[in-house]
Amino acid sequence: MTPVEGRMRYLPTFTETRDTSHIGEEIHALASEIYPLCRSITGSGVRTTLASLSRHIDLNVRAVPTGTQVFDWQVPKEWTIRDAFIKNSAGERVVDFRRSNLHVLNYSMPVHVQLPLSELKQHIFTLPDQPDLIPYRTSYYQERWGFCMAHRDLEALPDGIYEAVIDSSLEDGHLNYGEFLHAGASPKEFLLSAHICHPSLANDNCSGLALLTTVAKRLSSLKTRYSYRVLFAPGTIGAIAWLSSHEADVGRIEHGLVVSCVGDGGGPTYKRSRQGNAMIDRAMGHLLKHDWPAATIVDFSPYGYDERQFCSPGFNLPVGLLQRSQFGTFPEYHTSADNLDFIRPEHLASSYALVMKAIDIVENNRRPVNLLPKCEPQLGRRGLFSTFGGDPDGPAKSMALLWVLNLADGDNDLLGIAERAGMPFGIIAQAAARLHEKELITYPDED
Ligand code: ZN
C-alpha cells in the first residue's frame, strides 16, 4: 500500500448522501422511547415495542401461536407481567418492579409467598462483584420464580419475614416478531436482524432495534439493487420460528448482518459468518481496515446472537454479527448499568454509518470486464486523467483507474480489486463508474 493510499478513508457513500449530523440523536431518541418497556421472548412488551417501531417504518407484525413446532423447539407460552415486589414487615416495597423491570427474573412464573429472608435469598440474584448494579437474568425454558437486585441493597436487608409477589401469568398466546421488507430491483436479499427480547437494556437490545429501524426508514426512500429484509425477533426462539416458516425465502439471502450492542464506544467488533469469506465478511473486513484501526474481527463461533441460527449447518447463510464492544466483555453487559447514558448519539451515528457503508459496498460491488485488455487504453485522449486537475486525490484516482482496468478480467469484483490495490472501495467503485461511462469496461452479468 502506498502512503497516499494508506491515509485515505472511505469516501462518502453513493447510497448515503444526506446530511446525517443529527442521525445519532434520532437513533438515541428512538432507543429511549422503547427502553422502559418490559420485553421478554413473548408478551405485550414485544408487541408494544413493535408498535413503537411501526410508527417509523412499515412493519409487518407476525404472530406464531404457543405450541407451534419450529424445528426442534416449540413456541412457548406468552408471559404477562403486571407487578412484582418484595415487602418488608412494615409493608414497604424493598424491591419494586415499578422502579426497574430488571428486578423480576424475566419470564418468571407467578408467586405469592411469605418467607424468612434466608429462604427468600435462594430466589434472589445479585452481582457481588458489582454490588450497586441489578443483574438481568432470565428463565425461559424452566419454570422458576425470582428477583434480581443490587447486592448492596440485599446486604442491607435485616432478617425477618418478607412478602414476595410476582403478579405474572404464563398462558397460551403468541410469539411476535416484526418484519420490514424493501423491494429492490432483484429478489436477492440482504437480511438485517436485531433481537427484541431484552427488557430495559439500552446497548444490548434497544441500540440495535433503533439503529435498524433508522436504516429501514432510509432504505424506504432509496432505489436499491438488492431487496432488504429487516427482522426484529426474540433471540433464539424468534429466529428459529422465522426460519421455520421461511425456508422458501432463505435461498434468496445473499448477505446478512445481525446487529446488537451498537451504541457504546468500543470496537467495532465483527464476527464473520460461518462461511468465513462471504461478501459481507469481505465488505466488513475492508471497511474496518480502512476506517477503524482499533476494530476487531473474530471468526465465527457457535455462540452469540441469532447468527447461531442463520449459520446453523442446515442454512449456513452468509450472516455476520456487528457489535461495538463484544457481548459479555463490557462491565455494563446484562446489568442495570446498560442504560441510556451508556449509549451515546455519536457512537450510534458511527455504527449507522458503518451499516450504510456495508450496504453501499454490497449495492455497488460488481464484476467488470475490460473491453480493451490488450495493453493500456489511452486514458488522456478520453479525458480520464485531465479531469482530476487540482484534486488532491487526483493521483490516487488515476491509480484506481489503472487498477480497475488491469484487474477487470471477469474474475475479480470491485471489492477484490480494492483489496488488491490497497484502496478504499469507494474510490475503486467511482473509477469503475467512469470507465463504464467511457465504455472501457462492461459488466457481462448485467449489461
Ligand atoms: Zn443479551
Number of domains within the chain: 3
Strands 269-271 and 319-323: antiparallel
Considering the domain architecture, whether residues 190 and 322 belong to the same structural domain is answered as: yes
Distance 55 CA to ligand 1 centre (A): 25
Coil, helix or strand at residue 6: helix
How far apart are the CA of 328 and the centre of ligand 1, in A?
8
Residues 28, 99, single domain; the answer is no
261 CA to centre of ligand 1 in angstroms = 9
Task: Give the predicted TM-score (pTM) of the model.
Answer: 0.94
Task: Choose one of 171, 188, 208: the last residue of a domain.
Answer: 171
CA 6 to chain centroid, in Å, comes to: 29
Specify whether 203 is located in the same domain as 285. Answer: yes
Rounded Cα distance, 216 and 183, in Å: 12
| CA 5 to chain CA centroid, nearest Å | 30
Q: Phi and psi (nearest 5°) for 345?
A: -55, -40
**Could you tell me the distance, in angstroms and rounded to a whole number, from the CA of residue 213 to the centre of ligand 1?**
19
CA distances from 6 to 1, 289, 294, 366 (A): 6, 10, 15, 23
Q: What is the whole-number distance in angstroms between the Cα of residue 203 and the centre of ligand 1?
A: 9
pLDDT at 388: 52
Quick one: 357 and 417 in the same domain? no
Q: Give the pLDDT of residue 18.
A: 73
Distance from residue 239's CA to the centre of ligand 1 (Å): 15
Alpha-carbon distance 170 to 386, whole Å?
72
**Residue 320: Cβ within 10 Å count:** 30
- Residues 210 and 258 sit within 8 Å (Cβ to Cβ): no
DSSP string, 296-347: EEE---S-SSTHHHHTSTTT---EEEEESSPTTSSTTTTBTTSSTTTS-HHH
Edge-first strand order for the sheet with 60-65 is: 60-65, 174-182, 227-233, 189-195, 253-259, 319-323, 269-271, 296-298
Residue 10: predicted pLDDT: 40
pLDDT at residue 6, rounded to an integer: 34
User: 27 and 347 in contact (C-beta within 8 Å)?
Assistant: no
- C-alpha of residue 198 to centroid of ligand 1, in Å: 7
CA of 327 to the centre of ligand 1 (A): 7
> Are the C-beta atoms of residues 264 and 325 closer than 8 Å to each other?
yes
User: Do both 125 and 246 map to the same domain?
Assistant: no
In angstroms, rounded to a whole number, what is the distance separating the alpha carbons of residues 41 and 46? 8
49 in any annotated domain: yes
333 part of a folded domain: yes
CATH assignment at residue 128: 3.50.30.90
Q: Which three cell numbers stand for residue 350?
A: 458511527
**Spacing, Cα 334 to ligand 1 middle (Å):** 6
Claim to verify: residue 196 and residue 88 sit in the same structural domain: no
Q: Cα(378) to centroid of ligand 1, in Å?
A: 57
Max Cα distance, the chain (Å): 92
DSSP class of 8? P
Tell me how far the alpha carbon of residue 407 lies from the centroid of ligand 1, in angstroms.
44
Ligand 1: centre distance to CA 304 (Å): 9
CATH of the domain at 33: 3.40.630.10
Measured in angstroms, how far is the CA atom of residue 234 from the centroid of ligand 1?
11
Q: Output the 3-class SS for 201-226.
A: CHHHHHHHHHHHHHHHHHHHCCCCCC
| Same structural domain, 191 and 340 | yes
Q: How far apart are CA 213 and CA 53, in angstroms?
A: 7
Ligand 1 centroid vs 49 CA: distance in angstroms? Answer: 17
242 C-alpha vs ligand 1 centroid, how far in Å? 19
Determine contact, residues 354/268, Cβ cutoff 8 Å. Answer: yes
Distance, CA 66 to ligand 1 centroid (Å)? Answer: 23
101 and 247 co-located in one domain: no
> 329 C-alpha vs ligand 1 centroid, how far in Å?
12
Place of cell 417501531: 53
pLDDT at residue 3, as a whole number: 30
Residue 19's pLDDT is: 78
Q: What is the Å distance from ligand 1's center to 170 Cα?
A: 22
Q: Are residues 345 and 309 in the same domain?
A: yes
97 lies in the same domain as 66? no
CA trace torsion 221, 223, 14, 297 (10° rounding): 90
The alpha carbon of 149 and the centre of ligand 1 are apart by a number of angstroms equal to: 18
Final residue before a domain boundary, out of 340, 364, 388: 364
Give 37's contacts (C-beta < 8 A, 6+ positions apart).
Answer: 45, 48, 49, 52, 199, 200
Distance, CA 317 to ligand 1 centroid (Å)? Answer: 22
Q: Cα angle vertex 37, ends 33, 38, to 5°?
A: 160
- C-alpha 363/C-alpha 426 separation (Å) is 12
Per the CB < 8 A criterion, the answer to whether 111 and 105 are in contact is no
Domain that holds residue 138: 79-171
| pLDDT in single tens digits along all 447 residues of the chain | 333 333 333 444 555 667 778 999 999 999 999 999 999 999 999 999 999 999 999 999 999 999 999 999 999 999 999 999 999 999 999 999 999 999 999 999 999 999 999 999 999 999 999 999 999 999 998 999 999 999 999 999 999 999 999 999 999 999 999 999 999 999 999 999 999 999 999 999 999 999 999 999 999 999 999 999 999 999 999 999 999 999 999 999 999 999 999 999 999 999 999 999 999 999 999 999 999 999 999 999 999 999 999 999 999 999 999 999 999 999 999 999 999 999 999 999 999 999 999 999 999 999 999 999 999 999 989 988 755 567 777 888 899 999 999 999 999 999 999 999 999 999 999 999 999 999 999 999 875
Q: What is the pLDDT of residue 389?
A: 60
Q: Are residues 128 and 83 in the same domain?
A: yes
Asked if the structure places residue 17 within a domain, the reply is no
Task: State in Å: Cα 204 to ligand 1 middle.
Answer: 5
* 395 and 346 share one domain: no
CA-CA-CA-CA dihedral for 32, 36, 37, 40, to nearest 10: 100
Distance from Cα 408 to the centre of ligand 1, integer Å: 44
Beta bridge partners of 194: 232
- ∠ at Cα 149 (146, 151), nearest 5°? 125
CA of 137 to the centre of ligand 1 (A): 10
**If you measure from the C-alpha of residue 136 to the centroid of ligand 1, how many angstroms do you get, rounded to a whole number?**
9
Of the candidates 166, 53, 35, the one whose C-alpha atom is nearest the C-alpha of residue 106 is: 166
Ligand 1 centroid–CA 205 distance in Å is 7
The residue among 247, 303, 306, 307 whose CA lies nearest residue 280 is 307
Residues 282, 362: Cα–Cα separation, whole Å: 10
CA distance 252 to 255: 9
CA distances from 228 to 280, 317, 355 (A): 14, 15, 13
> Which residue, 334, 364, 394, sits at the end of a domain?
364
Record the cell numbers describing residue 218, joined without a space.
Answer: 432510509
> Whole-angstrom Cα distance, residue 85 to residue 78?
21
The domain that holds 385 is classified in CATH as 1.10.10.10
